[in-house]
Amino acid sequence: MASFIDDIFGKLFPNKKTPVKHKENFTQSPDAEEITASWIASEEGKSLMNIIQKNYHFKTSGMNANPEVHILNSPYANGFAVSYDSTFDQKSFSQLFFAFGQRMLDLGYQKISLDRKIEEVNDVVRTTEKQYFKPPLSNVDLSKKIDQLYGNVSIEKISVDEKPSYLKVLVTVYSDHLYLKARPFEQFMDDLFEN
């Protein structure tokens, strides 16, 4: 008899928990932008950028070093990811995320969005902060092919249960006939890490 009542209550009041899923846009304050600019020029900022660039080149040669860099490669998208480890603390990892975004602005890109997505996946909470950049298209002469620079760029910082996990930078090229061929990804890497 108890199972019959439990069954009815179960149908009336399901015990299923809806997974957390939230997305929001956010901004970096002018003060925070100044802190990022100072961090990029600091010894810590320069050192971490140099380590990541060096480890990227190590990885292209088949060697691993800490922090580990992963290469993302396909016909229309190229990029890299950096695993969080003891080389960083949460503050420097966050500054690195914004520093990559600042470099995109320095390269003439337009920031299209800055958002945060929080979702529950397999009993953990995954937070993805994402910056998305496009080449400047405001002064385009439609009688000529459009310069896509390197393509569209997304920069993501992923945390699991509020602990940093990795950063990912991904460049996606336009294959449309309206655009000039994208500049080489290796040149993007040189420009991204230029001091």
pLDDT, one tens digit per residue, over 36-78 is 999 999 999 999 999 999 999 999 999 999 999 999 998 889 9
Write b or e for each residue in 21-33: b if 16 or more Cβ atoms lie within 10 A of its Cβ, otherwise e. Answer: eeeeeeeeeeeee
**Percent of the chain with pLDDT strictly greater than 90:** 74
User: What is the Cα–Cα distance from 41 to 152, expressed in whole angstroms?
Assistant: 26
Residues 98-116 pLDDT 10s: 999 999 999 999 999 999 9
Predicted TM-score (pTM) of this structure: 0.87
Residue-averaged pLDDT of the chain: 90
pLDDT exceeds 70 at position 183: yes
- Residue-level pLDDT at 145: 86
What does the pLDDT read at residue 29?
92
- Whole-number pLDDT of residue 139: 64
With 0-12 / 13-18 / 19 or more C-beta atoms within 10 angstroms meaning exposed / middle / buried, residue 153 is buried
User: Whole-angstrom Cα distance, residue 95 to residue 49?
Assistant: 11
State residue 11's pLDDT score: 64
Task: Determine contact, residues 155/172, Cβ cutoff 8 Å.
Answer: no
